[in-house]
Amino acid sequence: MVNGLSLALQFLDSFAFIVLAAAGLAIVFGIMGVINLAHGEFILVGAYATTLAATQLGLPLVVAMAVGTLVTALFGLVVERTIVSGAVPNAVGQRVAGRDVMEPLYDRLADSMVATFGLSLVMVQGARIVFGNSIDQIATPLGEIAYGAFSYSTYRVVLSGVSVAVLLVTYYVFTRTDYGMRARATIQDEETAKALGVDTERTYVTTFAVGSGLAGLTGALFAPIVSMQPTLGDQFLVEAFVAVVVGGPSVVLGTALSGVVLGAIDAAFSNLYGTFVGRIALLIAAVIALRFLPEGVTGFVERVRTRRREGA
């Protein structure tokens, strides 16, 4: 039997991984209705930019991480303008064709999946061509916590703290700021928001950049842990989607709840029966959640609340 402290640390670890993997994806999906299958590759951009900033430019790790996050946010901005909204191609095309050549991908789930899947393939191979099959990796900072026969990486414990901070900041931004208000208005009813003077297009750009920046932050934070190679995004994608599906429509609360639920399941099963069983348990949990809570945990909470309100 693995001891309780190990289990607790393992839970924090899984929680951080799931929350950070899902954060950017949940925002882009929840607010813009864009399924970003290149989410893993956005994480790749963050991880590579951070690692290269640290190893090639010699920046301190924290600064390198900030660079990685910003580079990814900028990259997201470019992707939004060119592929997702098509604003740039349209601006160019209007002179030639005299009308919109590209329809934005907002709320076009299947179309956005195909477009971003293509983008992810291009990005993986592009990274391989530009940087080769692997780049030199930075070491994990901060040493370890030892307790009896066991020890654990301090950095991974810190990560769980960071993931909570990310949730809190995101919650604050989307509920307490003007931008958050506009973003939520846009998600609820774009036409009305536009009529009330919200620059919805600008909201979309900003939101996509924020989502990308979060993906970049995840890449930056995991750069010292995961193996630096062009397909590193793959390992985040499944967890991210499972978390978003289980979490449901409420971005922050949903991500936090699925982090707790899935993190606990993953930690318990991997510790007791090994990594493979942990992975299976995670996927079975997702199947069960989809079967019984088709709108995710927060969708279910919402439904119960509505029913109560109607009953009262």
Partner 1 sequence: MSRSTVSRRGFVTAGGAALVSGFAGCSSGGGSGASTDTASSADVVEIGVLEDQSGNFALVGDPKHKASMLAIEEINASGGIDGKEIEVYSRDPQSDNQRYQELTREMIDENDVDVLWAGYSSATREAIRPIINRNEQLYFYTTQYEGGVCDETTFAPGPTARQQLGTVLPYLREEYGPEIYTVAADYNFGQLSADWVKVLADEHDAEVVGEEFVPLSESSFGSTINRIQEADPDFVMSMLVGANHTSFYEQKASAGLEIPIGTSTAMAQGYEHRRLEPPAMANIYAGVNYMEEVPTESNTSDGGFVDRYFEKYPDAPYLNEEAETNYFSTYMYKEAVEQAGTLEQPEVIEALESGISLGTERAPEAPEGETVELDGATHHVDHHMWVLRADEEHTIEAVEDRTVPEQFLSETVGCDLREEAEQTQYTPRDYFEEAE
Interaction between residue 306 and partner 1 (CB under 8 A): no
Distance CA 119, CA 41 (A): 9
Q: What angle do CA 244, 245, 251 make, to 5 degrees?
A: 40
Q: Output the six-digit token pair for 134.
A: 């692997």
Interaction between residue 213 and partner 1 (CB under 8 A): no
CA 169 to chain CA centroid, nearest Å: 14
Distance CA 12, CA 160 (A): 6
Sign of CA dihedral 111, 116, 118, 119: positive
Sorted by sequence, the CB contacts under 8 Å of residue 159 that are 6+ apart come out as: 13, 16, 17, 20, 221
Contact 139, 224 (CB under 8 A): yes
- Choice between 36 and 153, CB closer to partner 1: 153
Q: What is the DSSP letter of 84?
A: I
Smallest distance from the beta carbon of 220 to partner 1, in angstroms?
A: 16
Given candidates 46, 104, 224, 248, which one binds partner 1 under the rule CB under 8 A? Answer: 224
Given candidates 82, 200, 206, 235, which one binds partner 1 under the rule CB under 8 A? Answer: 235
Given candidates 77, 111, 231, 249, which one binds partner 1 under the rule CB under 8 A? Answer: 231
Residues 86 to 105 in contact with partner 1, rule: CB under 8 A:
none
- Choice between 104 and 230, CB closer to partner 1: 230
Contact 291, 51 (CB under 8 A): no
Distance CA 100, CA 103 (A): 7
Interaction between residue 279 and partner 1 (CB under 8 A): yes
Interaction between residue 278 and partner 1 (CB under 8 A): yes
Binding string to partner 1 for residues 111 to 150, with x set by CB under 8 A, is what? --------------x--x---xxxxxxxxx-xxx-x--xx
Interaction between residue 218 and partner 1 (CB under 8 A): no
Smallest distance from the beta carbon of 250 to partner 1, in angstroms?
A: 26
The helix, strand and coil proportions of the chain, stated in percent and rounded to the nearest 5, come to 75, 5, 20
Given candidates 90, 163, 170, 229, which one binds partner 1 under the rule CB under 8 A? Answer: 229
Smallest distance from the beta carbon of 147 to partner 1, in angstroms?
A: 10
Interaction between residue 192 and partner 1 (CB under 8 A): no
- Choice between 9 and 245, CB closer to partner 1: 9
3-state secondary structure of 86: coil
Distance CA 89, CA 98 (A): 12
- Choice between 2 and 92, CB closer to partner 1: 2
Interaction between residue 56 and partner 1 (CB under 8 A): no
Phi, psi values for residue 291, rounded to 5° = -70, -45
Binding site residues, partner 1, CB under 8 A: 2-3, 6, 9-10, 13-14, 17, 125, 128, 132-140, 142-144, 146, 149-156, 224-229, 231-232, 234-235, 238, 267, 270-271, 274-276, 278-279
